[in-house]
Structure 1
């Protein structure tokens, strides 16, 4: 069965019958609808090569992580050193309609790409992004319109060919109703950056700053304009793959195996597989089976333990699921050296499995 995009947040409770049916209806669709996106002017090979030379020189000078990213992760200067392999200094400013977007840093591992940017409108402008409402989408043009593209050395978009999630978070800058926003844009890839991808740039679509209005049930424009841009990035994976093929427990009498995990100082990704596919039809003889399957693991059922016995707290980012396999992504609430980790424990149903974390292999 074809995999479909399901940006879902697992929780310990199974969904209501109405929620479950809505999810199943989406899974049973045979076509994936992709909103057409405005094409950006591509960078030439020479242009990207020259820009990469500039960024390499900048990297030699700018070796730190932006303090706002450190505050976001709650990281100390020592912990910041663990993120340096995935940090790319950027200094790109785009102006339109009196406002400026300045992108200052990209932070990447295999499954997560973070972009830090400042958006500044003219003095006296109120940029109301409804920051107190955690449950709405916000950013440039909505989710699909603003999905960035990874570029190859020729400036061509790399075909992701996988499920993804993309959202924008407004970081607290002390005044939610002034003319300035600090934006943290996050891209999550279900299958991760592939070894054959030769990533040399990133294209951001920045048309119209919007937020979703739950009362109007539509996106509203906070500030109109187009701040789309392209810039070079280089990628070095700071994580490791954990090869696993063990049964972790059962859901509804069906074995659930852990097939693979990935760890970086900031990300944990876990892939599960059912021995028997779950039925996705409404006449399923086991009501709620799909909900129990996608809720097989969550942050309360996963434990990362260090060599000194400390447990690293996790925040669930979401994931995707089909009738037989699923992937779930977590953010480590404490930036952690992989060398300090000892065990990953997963609890599925009444079972559990301890996965040793010594001798992690490079994620290639």
Structure 2
């Protein structure tokens, strides 16, 4: 179900202990931003709305009733209910109200639903969609982590109304700490759409619809429907024997940690055959979930924030960790086992 327009880019993100600071910069750089900054101009609709809203100031907790965006996108499934958090937080500025409706989250992934409501009489029907000049993945001021993300505008059931919806997708690699219970900050602002090509400046012109910026601060308290195991079982991967020391399964992701002395220096024999041209350390391990009725759920896609240690520098610990994400939220209570490189581990 994940939109292929941005999923492929996120799949390339990996975590390597050997260059943590460089990776953090690379992750931030991967966030989708326009390549050039086109000339800025205001739309007539936006100017009229600003005049109508003339003296209104920002307010928190505005009474705007909107449906949960994430639930609407993924469906009201067991997996959604096991990982979802209702937000319903709104901020109004000069007649424009942004609402964080709901989110699904675990320690590696956040899907956040956003609805933007314009002043009455404003029609947001630009056929090529709307964008934010100011945006980023949700941040956690008290954590050290790497992250990458993107957003997409969802299909509008009524293009003639004054509301548009967005889904923010963010992937995280937190260093030894959980996102649960942490202060989360979300900033979005300066809504615009692209007009025609400007041949003189060799760029697309941006037409700004709203110059406001919204910042939310809330505590991320997602449900703990998460299976955590320390199986310590042997496994053969990357042509060596190692140990599966940790398995974490949530409705949104699967995490597997494999370590061993034999993994030190593995970049000396693992080929550079990953889709992004890097060493294929974490892309090709077979991971499959099995439900209680025996149905197999292959977990080979959405690998962002997988990574390794000791691949180039054998003085570091040798490990790989594998992250996989399903197309739709998993019903964790219906899972029976997981197979990692042919090694089956019970989950129930």
Candidates 281, 288, 295, aligned match of 2:272: 288
State TM-score, norm by structure 2.
Answer: 0.63
1:94 is aligned to 2:91 = yes
**What is the deviation of 1:74?**
4.0
Aligned 1:345-360 pairs, distance under 5 A: 345-347=339-341, 352-358=342-348
- Corresponding residue number in structure 1 for 2:165: 182
- Corresponding residue number in structure 2 for 1:69: 70
- Corresponding residue number in structure 1 for 2:152: 169
**What is the deviation of 1:311?**
1.9
Q: 1:339 to 1:125 in 2, by over 3 A?
A: closer
Count of residue correspondences = 281
CA distance in 1, matches of 2:10, 2:265: 18
1:276 is aligned to 2:263 = yes
Aligned 1:104-183 pairs, distance under 5 A: 104-121=101-118, 123-127=122-126, 141=134, 146-150=136-140, 157-159=141-143, 161-174=144-157, 180-183=163-166
Tell me the alpha carbon deviations over residues 92-124 of structure 1, each in whole angstroms, 9 at most, x when there is no partner: 222346532111223333332332110234523
Contact 2:172 2:305 in 1 (8 A): no
Contact 2:84 2:103 in 1 (8 A): yes
CA distance in 2, matches of 1:192, 1:31: 13
The 3-state SS of whatever aligns with 2:333 is: helix
- Corresponding residue number in structure 1 for 2:295: 310
State TM-score, norm by structure 1.
Answer: 0.60
- Corresponding residue number in structure 1 for 2:231: 244
Tell me the alpha carbon deviations over residues 67-94 of structure 1, each in whole angstroms, 9 at most, x when there is no partner: 6434433444xx2xx5445433222222
The 3-state SS of whatever aligns with 2:70 is: helix
CA distance in 2, matches of 1:204, 1:29: 23
- Corresponding residue number in structure 2 for 1:327: 321
Contact 1:313 1:333 in 2 (8 A): no
Query: What is the RMSD computed on CA atoms of the aligned residues?
Result: 4.4
Q: Which has the larger radius of gyration?
A: 2
CA distance in 2, matches of 1:256, 1:219: 54
The 3-state SS of whatever aligns with 1:69 is: helix
Tell me the alpha carbon deviations over residues 172-216 of structure 1, each in whole angstroms, 9 at most, x when there is no partner: 2246797532112233322488369743x4321123347999x97
CA distance in 2, matches of 1:193, 1:287: 29
**What is the deviation of 1:304?**
0.9
Q: 1:102 to 1:75 in 2, by over 3 A?
A: closer
Structure 2 residue runs without a partner (length 5+): 1-8, 29-59, 62-66, 312-317
1:206 is aligned to 2:188 = yes
Q: 1:196 to 1:71 in 2, by over 3 A?
A: closer
Structure 1 residue runs without a partner (length 5+): 1-6, 12-22, 36-50, 55-65, 132-137, 151-156, 359-364
The 3-state SS of whatever aligns with 1:318 is: coil
**What is the deviation of 1:229?**
2.3
Q: 1:28 to 1:166 in 2, by over 3 A?
A: closer
Contact 1:294 1:326 in 2 (8 A): yes
CA distance in 2, matches of 1:197, 1:265: 15
Q: 1:319 to 1:28 in 2, by over 3 A?
A: closer
Tell me the alpha carbon deviations over residues 250-274 of structure 1, each in whole angstroms, 9 at most, x when there is no partner: 32x3335433221123332223346
